[in-house]
Structure 1
Amino acid sequence: MFYIIVAVKLILGLLALVLVINLTGKGNLAPASASDQVQNYVLGGIVGGVIYNTDISIPVFMLILAIWFAAVLSLRWLKKHNNLVKRWVDGQPVMLISRGKIDVDAARKAGISANDLSFKLRMQGIYAVKDVKQAILEQDGQLIVTSFGEENPKYPLITDGSIQPATLEMIDKDENWLLAELKTQGITNVGTVFLAEYDNGKITVTSSLPNQGLHI
């Protein structure tokens, strides 16, 4: 009987993994943010700590998984609809280098030493900071580097209705230029833009909603 209960708990744990992958639309459990890592750790602790514990019955185990599911989906909903919660939970990209100059304070706050930064640059074939137009540390620890001479930025101009100032700086443009370009495409509300990308001097816009709300 003990092995049957363990097998049932293991199957439930596997189903929980499949469900969370499908419901979050990630495709896998590879963490892309701090909250993803925490969710994986918690699920691993739940399954690993409960599966051999005979004091926790299958119904209780299912209840624990249901609570975990509710917490994960609630946090996902909050991050999607509240930028403040998203920044607080996942953090945000940090610009470490701008136009060949290192932001030492930003690097120290991110826990990046000079040796770590040099190593990350060398991994991308860059051996001098002066050759870097912009280097941004992502939430997952990956360093995204744009060198002088690269025409297209590696980040979008607008994501989920929010203008990205760092990308504008990378292409030597300002917000007024971006708003004017959007108007030429009939877009008067930045909040309706799902994604805007800059490619070879042109802006490609994907809208999510009809123009509404505060106009520019």
Structure 2
Amino acid sequence: MKKISNDTLLNKYIVKHNVKNIFDDNTLKYAQIHYYEKNEDILQADCELNYYYLFVDGKIKISYLLENGKSILLKFCTDFESLGDLELLNDIPIRCNVEAIENTYLIALPAKILRDSYCDNPKFLKHIINSLSNKLDATCNNSSYNLVYPLINRLSSYIVEHITDKGYIQLNSSFKEIAQFLGTTYRHLNRTFNTLESKGIIKCDDKTIYILQEEELKKLSKNLYI
């Protein structure tokens, strides 16, 4: 991790993501830019939360650590996201592992400063409520979907969610990561890709997936991941 002293970059992200709707200037004077390289750990489960993070650029992976040492992939993030909501409010150890999948920038605010002076601020509490409710909604939606529908429906939904105007998707995640997210194995995922390809619905070229029958793909897609 690198701390970047660049007020221009910090202000750019503050304006872009309307951070002043969450924190006032007195709090933002403590804000820093933290830069994490690809595959670097941002937060580790069971460790103390030193910084409350606002994810502003890059791509991250969030996983929940189980008691047996295994982890469940909860989500990938490429859009604005806050990290450390529960830990900050309840003063508990970090619950999830957060890893940079691409080079990533975050706005960091010292957790102690926020606990001492900001946890009763109405603007911040509204942000926390919205953040936690969105995470709960996404987790319930995605977990229920993985339990109810066969993999061919789940994979179709994943593909539909990522279709571009050009009629194809470029997979930015590894097949292992996609399998984790869809709650399956690498082999089962590979077989299901082959099934969709044999039906003439998609064509796979390494990590580029061409959509040949978008309407058929949408029929298979029963829901969208959040």
Higher Rg of the two aligned structures: 1
More helix by share: 1
Structure number with higher strand proportion: 2
Q: TM-score, normalised by structure 2?
A: 0.27
Higher relative contact order (CA closer than 8 Å, sequence separation 6+): 2
